[in-house]
Amino acid sequence: MFVAVFSLGTIEIFRTRTLITTTLAAQSLAVEGLEASRIIRDEDFLQLTDGDHGLFFSGERWSFQDSNDNDGFYTRSVHISSISPESKLVTVTIDWSNDLRDDQTLSQSTILTNWRVTLPE
């Protein structure tokens, strides 16, 4: 009986460690996606087109691509929707399956505005 309890405890520790590790990596990818969207916004607000996008980094520049980006383990999608002509809701979603084959999803959102627009007084 001790071996069975010890084995179950070891499996649960492994499961918890795997979940924490993969979730932290997913959070990092989501934050990177929001930061990349801010950089793209700072270059040209009109690049924040409504719809689903992936991200691509080439050289020293971020850009949106037509399909989700996938590193072989995590899939990242960036959904952009208009709130007003000068503000967008950006939601980055990360999907993955952990070592135990559990499907996981994590999302983070922010509102980006066209800060270069001069508002009427």
Classify 119 in phi/psi space as left (phi over 0), alpha (psi -120 to 50) or beta: beta
53-99 pLDDT, tens digit each = 999 999 889 999 999 999 889 999 999 999 999 999 999 999 998 66
Q: Alpha-carbon dihedral of residues 81, 82, 87, 90, nearest 10 degrees?
A: 0
Distance, CA of 117 to CA of 119 (rounded, Å): 6
18-54 pLDDT, tens digit each = 778 889 999 999 999 999 999 999 999 999 999 999 9
Domain ranges (residues) in the chain? 2-113
Q: pTM for the whole thing?
A: 0.83
Q: Is 98 helix (H, G, I), strand (E, B) or coil?
A: coil
Q: What is the CA radius of gyration of the chain?
A: 19
